[in-house]
């Protein structure tokens, strides 16, 4: 058997990689991909705990996280397309009109 700590540690590593990607990348689509990595790490945590506690609610929550991730990816990419039409560039540093 695999102790659950291994799964939690793996999930922490993946979440960390997602957070690092979110802070260090400048391409908007790469930011969205890092958010997806973070959501997947959280999914793994939920499923690991659901398997260890023998309760199905962990997996139901993963279901909802999946749905929300799909909705957010769709709207995020539509925003990216709209932004690209205005600026011709996907660098987040160029979107600084609200800066003082």
Question: Which residues between 32 and 51 bind another protein (CB under 8 A)?
Answer: 32-34, 36-37, 40, 43-44, 47-48, 50-51
Q: How far is the CB of 98 from another protein (least distance, A)?
A: 18
In the chain, DSSP finds a helix count (H) and a strand count (E) of 3, 0
- 87 touches another protein (CB under 8 A): no
In Å, the largest CA–CA distance within the chain is 56
The number of residues making up the chain comes to 100
Query: What is d(CA 35, CA 69) in angstroms, rounded to the nearest whole number?
Result: 9
The residue within the footprint of another protein, chosen from 42, 82, 86, 100 (CB under 8 A), is: 82
Question: Which lies closer to another protein via its Cβ, residue 93 or residue 98?
Answer: 93
């Amino acid at each position: 058997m695999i102790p659950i700590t291994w799964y939690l540690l793996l999930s922490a590593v993946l979440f960390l990689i997602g957070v690092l990607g979110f802070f260090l990348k400048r391409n908007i689509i790469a930011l969205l991909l890092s958010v997806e990595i973070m959501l997947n790490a959280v999914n793994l945590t939920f499923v690991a705990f659901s398997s260890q506690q023998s309760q199905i609610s962990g997996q139901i929550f993963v279901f909802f996280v999946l749905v929300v991730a799909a909705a957010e990816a769709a709207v995020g990419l539509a925003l990216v397309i709209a932004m690209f039409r205005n600026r011709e560039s996907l660098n987040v540093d160029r979107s600084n009109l609200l800066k003082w």
